[in-house]
Chain A
């Protein structure tokens, strides 16, 4: 669907990403997991076309890929009500809303009765749902999400995770999700890639498989805990080179 082939990114002399290879399959939920400053957000910006790679290649499908971005802060426009915020992408791309599309998306994110409200009247979780609804308005086949739940409390976060999985199944979209929360990565993903802290590069890839539907019970299962433990160890390895300052000591 979209892939990065041996991509590196430098800002002046600062190397942020090094030889990254990544492939996103249709309908896949891929999570980029790594410590702060490992270039996760830069990776998403590359995929979105907001940055150009210094080396390597970004391969997109021939028919222009329809994608949307969900930011860490919801980035809603405070002078527009919820309905106007959600319709913004269509306004900017000069597209018309197909009949009932807005109502469908509002009910999908459970905000139907709030469409005339303004962002400052909503809670953090609701603002994030508006941000996701806005991203869905252009019917994207790929959703890029940059730590969208990092500022939410734990209960809201769990609720948002379930809603996101439901949305992904309903809309059959691919998601690239960036986080530094291991438990979040395990719960949500089909595949997790762990990035190293300095000169970000992928050091480990893990497919996540559960028997049955993902719900709160999964969080108590042994399989879930095994994945979390394994990824915690990998995350520790990912941070070591940064702490010792020895960039060559990256685990193979």
Chain B
């Protein structure tokens, strides 16, 4: 019989080993003066910086993660609601969707200064920036999922005279689940990118810390911020996977769309 613990270990071992190997080589290359610590600081130096400036990092991390979480939650709520509205009304879709595409194609760094003018310096601008960057994949994926329902199943609902709401909640919505999940996964990474771009111009959080470290040539601070950001991204994806597990076990959503 397979032991579940050993199967988890088997999954976790390869990334853990490659991670360890990479940092050992980096440390070794620095000690042997093969790489300049001004370009790639050794992991031991990063750890020292992290411990000595822990309270600064903690505050910045909490600020950024709050902005990212709020931006992501708003993007999920607004994005999914917009896609549902678009799927119900083709006129609304034609009227509004071009604006969503506009926000997707204009680089966030170009509109972030505008956000500062509208929302001022600080968290509201960061949240808005995170939302603008991450909402498009949620809208697009949800819309694709809601519309990608087999003709046979739609016929079945039509035969029993299902109304639009019944078709939406009992057929389109569960059918779209996998697609929505994929959109949210993409949005997790984008929400972090949007928040950092927002913090570059509006201040606060890890983004502002990176910006100020850049002016002081403190590359070690930049790297610690980058690790904290990637761990934030990993945490968000992990939380989403947990939610997905809950939806699969309790609602049987997304298990298999082919019956």
Contact = CB atoms under 8 A, between A and B. Distances in A.
Tell me whether A and B are bound partners.
Answer: yes
A50 B159 contact: yes
Interface residues of A, number: 27
A72 B156 CA distance: 12
Given A73-B259, A78-B257, A92-B161, 7 more contacts: A69-B155, A71-B152, A78-B259, A80-B252, A93-B161, A120-B255, A127-B259
Contact of A92 (B170, B253, B258): B170
A79 B155 contact: no
Nearest to B252: A79
Contacts of B259: 73-78, 119-120, 127
Top 3 nearest A-B pairs by Cβ distance?
Answer: A119-B259, A92-B160, A76-B259
A92 B152 contact: no
Interface in A200-236: none
Given A75-B150, A79-B174, A68 B255 contact: no
Interface in B87-121: none
A68 B259 CA distance: 20
Contact of B256 (A50, A78, A81, A138): A78
A91 interface: yes
B150 A92 contact: no
Given A92-B170, A119-B259, A120-B259, A75 B152 contact: yes
25 contacts: A48-B155, A50-B158, A68-B159, A69-B155, A69-B156, A71-B155, A71-B156, A73-B150, A73-B259, A75-B259, A76-B259, A77-B171, A78-B252, A78-B255, A78-B256, A78-B258, A78-B259, A79-B252, A79-B253, A88-B156, A92-B160, A92-B170, A118-B252, A120-B255, A127-B259
B251 interface: yes
B71 to A, nearest CB: 30
A92 B170 CA distance: 9
A89 interface: yes
A92 B162 CA distance: 6
A127 B258 CA distance: 12
B218 interface: no
Interface in B167-223: 170-171, 174, 177
A89 B160 contact: yes
Nearest to A118: B252
B120 to A, nearest CB: 45
A92 B255 contact: no
B50 interface: no
Interface residues of B, number: 24
A96 to B, nearest CB: 15
Contacts of B251: 79
A251 B177 CA distance: 51
Contacts of B153: 75, 77
Contacts of B159: 48-50, 68-69
Interface in B12-26: none
From A73, A75, A79, residue with most partner B Cβ within 10 Å: A79
A72 B155 CA distance: 12
A144 B233 CA distance: 52
B230 interface: no
Given A75-B156, A118-B252, A119-B259, A92 B166 contact: yes
Interface string A89-132: 10111000000000000000000000000111000000100000
A180 B99 CA distance: 51
B152 A73 contact: yes
B172 to A, nearest CB: 11
Contacts of A50: 155, 158-159
Contacts of B152: 71-73, 75
Nearest to A85: B259
Nearest to A48: B159
A88 B153 CA distance: 12
Contacts of A93: 160-161
Nearest to B254: A79
Nearest to A91: B170
Nearest to B155: A50
Nearest to A49: B159
Contacts of B255: 78-79, 118, 120
Contacts of A76: 259
